Structure 1
C-alpha cells in the first residue's frame, strides 16, 4: 500500500486511522511540527510586508504548516494549501513533501502535472518579485538574465526534484507489487502442478494395479484351470491306467512350474530397484515410473513374452486334457509388434480357459488370420455335451476374463466381440491393427 492509499481501519496490522503503521504516525507528526515551525518563522516578515498583526498571521502559519499531517489521507489538499502559502513565502517543506506524497499516491497524472505547474509558476513568480525588490535596494544589481536564471533554477528544482523522487518510488512499488503477484501466481501454479502430479501418480497406480490384475488373471486362471482339469482326469484314470495318470501328473507339475515362472517374472519387475532403501521413491512414483517406462519403450516382458508362435503349444496343452481343439491358420506367416502378438496370445489363452471352465468336453475352433496390417483371431466352441461336461465345468469364475480381453484389445485400437452362438456355444473374436512397424 502506498503512502496515500493507507486504509482507515484502526488497530488492524498496526494501522492507526489512515496510517499503515504506528511509525508512520510519528513521522508525519514530526514533519508537520517542522513545517509549522518553518511557517511561524516566516510569519513576522510577511506580517510586516502586508501590514497585518503578527499573532493572527502566526496562527494561520501554524495551521497551514500542520496540514502536512494529512498528507497520506488528502495529498491534493496539502498541495493546494502549499499553493495558497506561496505569496507569503512560506511552506517550503510543505511543497517538497506534499509533491512527493502526491506523486507516490494513486492520483491521475494530469492532476499531478497541473499542480506541479501551478507550484512551479507561482514559486518562480514569487521568487522573481522578491529578487526584484532585493535588487532595488543595492547599488550594483545583478544582470537580468542571471537573476532570471537563479529564479528558474531554484523555482523549478525545488518542485521537480520531489516529483522525480516520487515517480521513482511509485514505479519501484509497482514493480515490487507485480513481482509479488507474479510470485503468488507461480506459487499457485506450483500448487496446481503438485496436485496434478498427485493425480497422475494416482492414475498410474490405478492403471498399474489393473494391468497387474489382468496379467495375474491370464497366468493363474489358464494354468490353474488346466491343472484342475488334469487333476480330475488323474483321479478318474488312476485306478484303471496308472501310466496315463503319471503322465497327467507330470503335466500338472510342468504347468505349475510355468505358472510360478511367469508369476516370478511379473513380481520381479515390481520389486527390482538397485537404489538404497533411503533413496527409493514413493510407491506411487514407482508405479508412475513403470507406467511411463511402458509408454516410452517396449517392456522386457513385451520383448520376451508370449508370441503367435506359441499358440500351437497353447492349443496342445488343451488337447492333452482331452479337449477337441481344431487350430487353423490363414495368411502368410509374418511378424507383428510385441504388444499385438502378446494380446492375441492372451485372448486365445483366456478363451480356452473359459471353455475349460464352462464348456468342458465341447469341440472348440481356434482360427488365426494373419493379414498385412492386422491380425484376427476367433475362438468358438460348440455347446458342451450334457452328461459329458466333465469336471472342468464346475470351475469357479470371477467374471473378469472377458473384461480383461476387451481392455487389452481396445487399448491397441482393435475391435472385440463376444457372445453366445446360434447353436448354443460361445464365440470370442478380436481384430487388432498393427499400426507400428513390425519388430
Structure 2
C-alpha cells in the first residue's frame, strides 16, 4: 500500500468517525466557530427583540439557534449562506455570513450558484447598510444642526462596507478552493506516476528475466554448434585411430594429426566466442546486465567482426567429414555473392549441425549437401541415406538440441526451417534464409 493510499484510508476512517469532518481538528474548529457565532447572534438578538417588540429571551434564543447553523458549513454551505442572508435585515449573523461565503467559494459548488448567492448576500447587506446609515444620518441631523451630508455619502459608505464584508471572504475562498483542487490534481498525478513507475519496473524486470533466459539459450546454442561438430569428428577419428593403430601405423599417424587439428580448431572457435561475449558484457549497465546484450549479441558482434564462419568455408567443412570416413557430395547451384555475415554464419551452422547429426545417428550413410543461391534467398539442404549397418558406431552422445538450435537460428532471421525423415529411410534438413535489405 502506498503512503498516499494510507493517508486516504485514514481520512476515510476519520470521516466515518466524525460525521462529515475529515479530521478531528476540523470538527473542533467548526464547533468553536459555531459557538462564537451563536454568542454573537444571541447578543444581537437582544436588539432584534426590542425592535420587533418581542420578549428578550425569545430574541436571544432565536439568535443562538441561528448562529449555531455555522456548525454545518462544510456539509451544507448553501444553507449557511441562505440563513445569513435571511437574518441580514435583523442585523445579526455577520460572522456567519463571512465564514459562510468563504466556505461556499472554497467548496465544489458550481460557480454560478456561488456567484448568485454572493450577489444576493451583497445586495442584502447593501440595503440594510443603506437603511441603517440613513437612520444614523437622520439622527445626527437632529442632534447636530450643522451636519449636512451630501447625497453621495450614504451609498458610497454603504458600498465600501458591503464590499469589505463580502469581497474578501469570497476571493479568499476562491483562492483556497483553486489551491486545494491543484493539490488534489498534483496528488492524483503523483499517484498515477507512481503506479506507472511500478508497472515500468515490473515490465523491466520481466524484460530482464526474458533477456537472461534468451541469453542462456543463445549461449547454449553457440556452445553446442561450436563444440558438437568438432568434438564429434575428433571422436570419429579417435575411433578410427584405435582401429588402425596396429594394422596401419601411417594411417594412424594421419588420423592423430587430424584429431589434433580438430582440437585446435575447436579451441580457436571457443576462444573467439568467449572473447566476443566478454567484450559485449563490459559496457552493459549494472541494473540489467543482460538486457542490453539482446537476443544474439555475441552472434551479432561475431558477424560484425567477420571472424565467424562463412559459406566459403563449406568445402572445408565437407572435406573434414570426408576425412572422417563419410561419403559427402556437395552441390552448389546459382552464382555465389556476398551476403550479410549473419546470414552466411547461420547457413554454415545449419550445414555443420546437420553433418554432426549424421555422424551421431547415421554412421556410414551417404550424404548430399545442396546449396542454392537465389535472387532474394539462399537455400541449403542436407540429406542422408539410411545408416550402413556395417559401419562402426562411434556412440556419440546426443542432447537433442541440434534441430532446436537450427530452427531458432533460421526463424530469428525470418527464414523457414524443415526437417524430417525421408521415404528412403534417411533424414533431410532444409532451410531457406532471406537475403534482402531487412536482414542485411
TM-score by shorter chain over 0.5: yes
Among candidates 33, 38, 41, match of residue 39 of structure 1: 41
Q: Does 1:383 align with 2:386?
A: yes
* CA pair 33-384 structure 1, distance change in 2 beyond 3 A: closer
Q: Retained in 1: the 8 A contact 2:303–2:342?
A: no
Deviation at 1:15, TM superposition (A): 5.6
User: Unaligned regions of 5+ residues in structure 1, if any?
Assistant: 1-5
SS of the equivalent of 1:288 reads: coil
Quote the Cα distance in structure 2 between the aligned partners of 1:68 and 1:42: 16
Q: Distance in 1 between matches of 2:39 and 2:297?
A: 82
What is residue 174 of structure 2 aligned with on the other side? 167
1:184 to 152, 166, 191: 191
Counterparts of residues 262-341 of structure 1 (less than 5 Å): 262-272=269-279, 281=286, 285-291=288-294, 294=297, 298-302=300-304, 303-341=306-344
Report the Cα distance in structure 2 between the residues aligned to 1:162 and 1:28, rounded to whole angstroms: 16
Distance (Å, rounded) in 2 between the aligned partners of 1:414 and 1:314 = 23
| Separation in structure 1 between the aligned mates of residue 80 and residue 423 of structure 2, nearest angstrom | 99
Deviations 1:76-135 (A, max 9, x none): 222222122211111111100011112222323343233222212211111111122122
Q: Take 2:281 and 2:354, find their aligned partners in 1: how far apart are those partners?
A: 38
Change (3 A) 1:58 1:263: same
Greater CA deviation, 193-202 or 321-330? 321-330
Give the CA RMSD over aligned residues: 2.8
> Does structure 2 conserve the Cα–Cα contact (< 8 Å) formed by 1:43 and 1:57?
yes
| TM-score, length of structure 2 as denominator length | 0.89
Which whole-Å CA distance do the structure 2 matches of 1:408 and 1:146 have between them? Answer: 97
Q: How many angstroms does 1:333 deviate by?
A: 2.7
Q: What is the CA distance between 1:218 and its match in structure 2?
A: 0.9
Residues 2-61 of structure 1, C-alpha deviation per residue, up to 9 Å, x if partnerless?
A: xxxx99x99738963332222223322332233233323433333333333323212222
Say whether 1:148 aligns with 2:155.
yes
Provide the rounded CA distance (Å) in 2 between the counterparts of 1:40 and 1:237.
Answer: 125
Contact 1:10 1:17 in 2 (8 A): no
Contact kept in structure 1, 2:379 and 2:432, CA below 8 Å: yes
Unpaired segments ≥5 residues, structure 2: 1-7
Confirm or deny that 1:19 pairs with 2:21. Answer: yes
SS in structure 2 of the partner of residue 364 of structure 1 = strand
Q: Whole-Å Cα distance in 1 between the matches of residues 350 and 391 of structure 2?
A: 23
Larger deviation: 413-422 or 207-216?
413-422
Tell me the alpha carbon deviations over residues 369-410 of structure 1, each in whole angstroms, 9 at most, x when there is no partner.
223322111212222322x23223x32322221221122112
Change (3 A) 1:191 1:262: same
Q: Residue 222 of structure 1: CA displacement?
A: 0.8
Match of 2:100 in 1: 98
Quote the Cα distance in structure 1 between the aligned partners of 2:12 and 2:393: 88
Q: TM-score, normalised by structure 1?
A: 0.89
The range that moved more, 242-251 or 66-75, is 66-75
Count of paired positions: 427
Q: Give, in angstroms, the shift of residue 273 of structure 1.
A: 7.7
Which residue pairs with 2:4 in the alignment?
none
